[in-house]
Structure 1
Amino acid sequence: MLKAILFDMDGVLVDSEPIHFKSNCITLEKYCNITLEYEYYKQFIGSTIAYMWKRVVDDFHIVEYTADDLLKLNDAVLQELVEKDGYPPIPGAAECVREWKQAGYLLAVASSSKREKILQNIKRLGIADCFDRIVSGMELEHPKPNPDIFLEAAKLLEVKPEECLVIEDSGNGVKAAVSAGMACLGFLNPNSGEQDLSGADYLFESFSSLDESFLCMVHNHHFGEP
């Protein structure tokens, strides 16, 4: 029986990936004179920014700055961009959150972003009071595609993995959901790049196509329930 719905945030609730890529490009170009190619960057979508900068420092043999240095420098660049342009909301996502909360489901945000950023975004969307729990991948040892973030969300909600459904837009996120033993919907967000969402139970292009009965059908089909 479906009891809990777990939401990724970036690319699912807010359309943040284009701004993230832009800030990372500016940071690398400004401080390291390195051009960040999207083909390289897209492998990190869905994972934590801390993990990305560790890989960047190693892969590009950066010695002038540590991963923590670049993370802090990028935070400043990102904050400036967000204050200027903001994060566009994903159409229909907030409405679905409110509808499913009213229907009695437990809801959680399970995002690779920092906790303060998650709180900032869901408050701006007016749905902060809808979520029972928030889990930040930055506070866990293993980022997506490891299942830790979704298992932690289920633990905090006091439900079993098989009672959860995850909504994700990244290949790393879908892999994490599958590894956690949960049903998963893959959101085809064009701004998230060409993500491999083949592990999801069903793919959708708009939140307007989702309703409670469909979520239950996807969940029950995944677990072979009537």
Structure 2
Amino acid sequence: MEACVFDLDGVLVDSEPVWEEVRRAFVAEHGGTWQDDTQSRLMGMSTAEWASYLHELGVRLPPDEIARQVVDRMAERYRAHLPLMKGAPEAVRRLGDHFTLGLASSSPRRLIDVVLESSDLHDCFDATVSTEEVDRGKPAPDGYLKVARLLGVDPDECVAVEDSSNGLRSADAAGMRVVAVLHPRYPPAPDALVLAWRIVERLDALTPELLDG
């Protein structure tokens, strides 16, 4: 393996509970109806995709305005408290000593930059991509393929670290080996988990030896 490509939400930042709280409240405030499967469907969508989806749930604002207001709220929450996953900085630096690192995230560029600057991890990554910057969000492979191009490596020389169903599908579709880090609150669907090359429950299990094995 030449490179390791991290997802952000649910892998480095315990952001899914924050996203759910913020978007659920936003939908309720603006006349929409949150469905039982809404959170699982939103995970991995690009900004344009989830904003359009919230509009379809009945939010009485245009999608671009939905995206702007929700991202504003997320940035405020991150600045007040950045919910890093336990062991995330250590895992990034540990793997960065052995592999070229990239990041492929469904978060908007603005939030990626807030997270990496606030966590002092910005210099660890040679390439970072938001699905805002590609044609399709996860589960399409576009984000992972772009990161590989920017890193100058073939996708089959990359390991992706993911937690969500759509993220696992996206990295697998890109031709990367995938390590699934299980989130206790938002586990991936069984049909997505079978795509994983390795499965770990904690970031401290993410070692160079695991990826070289």
Q: Scaled by the length of structure 1, what TM-score is found?
A: 0.87
Residues 171-200 of structure 1: CA distance to partner in whole angstroms, max 9, x if unpaired?
A: 101101111111000110123x23222211
- Provide the alpha-carbon RMSD of the alignment: 1.6
Name the structure 2 match of 1:144: 138
Q: Secondary structure at the match of 1:142?
A: coil
Name the structure 1 match of 2:187: 194
Point out the structure with max Rg over C-alpha: 1
- Measured in 2, the distance between the counterparts of 1:157 and 1:91 equals 27
Instruction: Judge which range, 157-166 or 36-45, deviates more.
Output: 36-45
Q: Does 1:213 align with 2:209?
A: yes
Name the structure 2 match of 1:99: 94
Unaligned segments of structure 2, at least 5 residues = none
Q: Does 1:110 align with 2:104?
A: yes
Instruction: Judge which range, 203-212 or 16-25, deviates more.
Output: 203-212
Opposite residue 204 of structure 1, the aligned amino acid is V
For the 8 Å contact 1:112–1:144, the answer to whether it is kept is: yes
Residues 1-42 of structure 1: CA distance to partner in whole angstroms, max 9, x if unpaired?
A: x0000000011111011011111011111122x342452221
Q: List aligned pairs for 1:1-226, cutoff 5 A.
A: 2-32=1-31, 34-58=32-56, 60-62=57-59, 64-84=60-80, 86-103=81-98, 105-191=99-185, 193-196=186-189, 197-217=193-213
For the 8 Å contact 1:92–1:207, the answer to whether it is kept is: yes
For the 8 Å contact 1:23–1:78, the answer to whether it is kept is: yes
Opposite residue 178 of structure 1, the aligned amino acid is D
For the 8 Å contact 1:23–1:81, the answer to whether it is kept is: no
Q: Secondary structure at the match of 1:70?
A: helix
- Measured in 2, the distance between the counterparts of 1:31 and 1:56 equals 10
Residues 85-137 of structure 1: CA distance to partner in whole angstroms, max 9, x if unpaired?
A: x231111121121122222x110111111122112111222221111111111
For the 8 Å contact 2:159–2:179, the answer to whether it is kept is: yes
Size of the aligned set, in residue pairs, is 210
Shift of 1:61: 4.9
Opposite residue 16 of structure 1, the aligned amino acid is S
Unaligned segments of structure 1, at least 5 residues = 218-226
- Measured in 2, the distance between the counterparts of 1:48 and 1:117 equals 13
C-alpha spacing 1:78/1:116, structure 2 compared with 1 (3 Å): closer
For the 8 Å contact 1:24–1:36, the answer to whether it is kept is: no
C-alpha spacing 1:38/1:124, structure 2 compared with 1 (3 Å): farther
